[in-house]
Amino acid sequence: MSAWRPYLKSFLVLTCVVVSIAGLVNVFSDNADTVVKAKAIGCPRPVCNLTRMERNPFAQTFEFQSTLGTIGVKCARAGIFFGEYSCVKQ
């Protein structure tokens, strides 16, 4: 068992680094295409405003204000940290 210990520690450190970088990319990367997807779902009228945007490593949440009221949209990746964003109305 002690022969695997250095490899296990290295694997654990590498996993933590990859997960941390993936979380940072999800929060701080350019999300213009995700905003367009969310606006397509959350704006039934041509005139609406983005009033709130929240980003975390797992999902992005948007609120749009239109004449119909406030509409919330949540966008999440296909995998936990990786994959294409898909959006659903809340």
Amino acid, res. 23: G
Domain count, the chain: 1
User: Does the structure show a pLDDT above 60 at 1?
Assistant: no
pLDDT tens digits, 41-65: 998 777 899 999 999 999 999 999 9
User: Which of the four pLDDT bands, split at 50, 70 and 90, describes residue 67?
Assistant: confident
- Whether the model clears a pTM of 0.95, i.e. scores above it, the answer is no
CA-based radius of gyration for the chain: 18
Cβ(73)–Cβ(61) under 8 Å? Answer: yes
Total number of residues shown for the chain = 90
User: Which residues constitute the domain of residue 18?
Assistant: 5-89
CB atoms within 10 A of CB 16: 10
